[in-house]
Amino acid sequence: MLSIHLGDYPRSIYDTETYFRNSYLDSWFEDPMAAQMIKGVDGSELIGPHNIISKQLGSITPLELSGGVKTLLLVRNLPNMVFNASTCGDNCARWLLKIGKEQDVLVTLYHIMKFPWRHFEIRINNDGRIVRNMQEFVGATNDFLDVDE
């Protein structure tokens, strides 16, 4: 299940860009979901672990992927760690939900992410409640985030 901690979490990796640069493995790109996430978020095609075709940039390496895709790959491949999902745009929300359907993961958020599905299940780590739609999720963010800033 996808669990979200709203706000600061003691063991969260905030700088996902640097963490990815220094920890990703070629084997991560053998996972079919990696190709789907790269296509779905960046609109790029995964050819191999060192070759991704971007419509805007041509041939790129994993280091040139968007911050969102890098964070998704970290969440997918290092599920026992906690990553800052606020580095992701809303186009990553469906992928966080998909990853959460396959494995238990915890991420932090510092903003209201727009989840695209009408019904979903997310555990709010701060208090353990399960939210099942955007209205409930926004209610949880009101309890734990300073959304007025």
Count of Cβ atoms closer than 10 Å to residue 138 Cβ: 14
SS3 53: strand
CB 12 within 8 A of CB 117: no
Count of Cβ atoms closer than 10 Å to residue 95 Cβ: 22
CB 85 within 8 A of CB 61: no
Q: 116, 122, 149: which is closest to 6 by C-alpha?
A: 122
Q: How far apart are CA 31 and CA 16, in angstroms?
A: 20
Average pLDDT, integer, range 44-59: 96
Q: How far apart are CA 22 and CA 20, in angstroms?
A: 5
Average pLDDT value for the chain: 97
pLDDT in tens, 9-37: 999 999 999 999 999 999 999 999 999 99
pTM, two decimal places: 0.95
Q: State which amino acid sits at residue 105.
A: V
Q: First and final CA of the chain: distance in angstroms?
A: 29
Whether the per-residue pLDDT at 149 is higher than 60: the answer is no
